[in-house]
Chain A
Amino acid sequence: DIQMTQSPSSLSASVGDRVTITCRASQSISNYLNWYQQKPGKAPKVLIYAASSLQSGVPSRFSGSGSGTDFTLTISSLQPEDFATYYCQQSYSTPQITFGQGTKLEIK
């Protein structure tokens, strides 16, 4: 099984900050990596697919990069609505899917 490890597990930041979240795969997954945002009591929402492609309707302050085993999600200038939990997800080992454990982004 491919394990996905996110860091940090939690993060405090202020509105306007630039934030980076990292996701590491236990083996190479090429660019088969997606990022989601989840707010309390809501279903997840896809932000980035294929490591760096912005999903339609997602603000351009979100970006993704990486390939192989190391990936990052960057928010260029935090907005109040961005405080949420973020998950990475690999689909290299389809049909088996795995998620990272999540990164909770909180207001400082």
Chain B
Amino acid sequence: QVQLVESGGGVVQPGRSLRLSCAASGFTFSSYGMHWVRQAPGKGLEWVAVIWYDGSNKDYADSVKGRFTISRDNSKNTLYLQMNSLRAEDTAVYYCARAHEPYCKNGVCLWFFDLWGRGTLVTVSS
């Protein structure tokens, strides 16, 4: 079954750390770029981070740059998000998502998210 399953969410105090995992199954994980997208309660979607299919490149939203680290273990078909120095505004449901790349033109690639996990809730509160 093609799926993504997140885990690791919970309640954490401001300033502390948490690591999220996303287990992939049913497809060739090592062939896809992977992303984290979050959604604060009652709010819209916010892209968080991306990692290339082979882990060679990563990028982050400005809101988490320097605090969050995305990584992957292709031998375990697992994506991670290490979250440090957590803030109240990091409270959200965190989704992992697979990026489909139908084409690239002049070095710009179309990415859309064709597979999502169910999400894991992270609550930052004292």
Contacts and interface: CB of A to CB of B under 8 A. Distances in A.
Interface of A: 1, 30-32, 34, 36, 38, 42-46, 49-50, 53, 55, 87, 89, 91-92, 94-102
Given A87-B44, A98-B47, A44 B113 contact: yes
Given A36-B45, A42-B118, A87-B44, 4 more contacts: A1-B62, A50-B102, A50-B110, A95-B50
B44 A96 contact: no
A97 B110 contact: no
Contacts of A42: 118
23 contacts: A1-B62, A30-B105, A31-B110, A34-B113, A36-B45, A36-B113, A42-B118, A44-B45, A49-B100, A49-B110, A87-B45, A89-B45, A89-B113, A91-B110, A91-B112, A92-B108, A94-B108, A96-B47, A97-B47, A97-B50, A99-B45, A100-B44, A102-B45
Interface of B: 35, 44-47, 50, 57, 59, 61-62, 95, 100, 102, 105, 108-114, 116-119
Contact of A102 (B35, B44, B50, B108): B44
A85 B59 CA distance: 27
Nearest to A101: B44
Q: Could you tell me the dominant secondary structure of chain A's interface residues? A: loop
A99 B109 contact: no
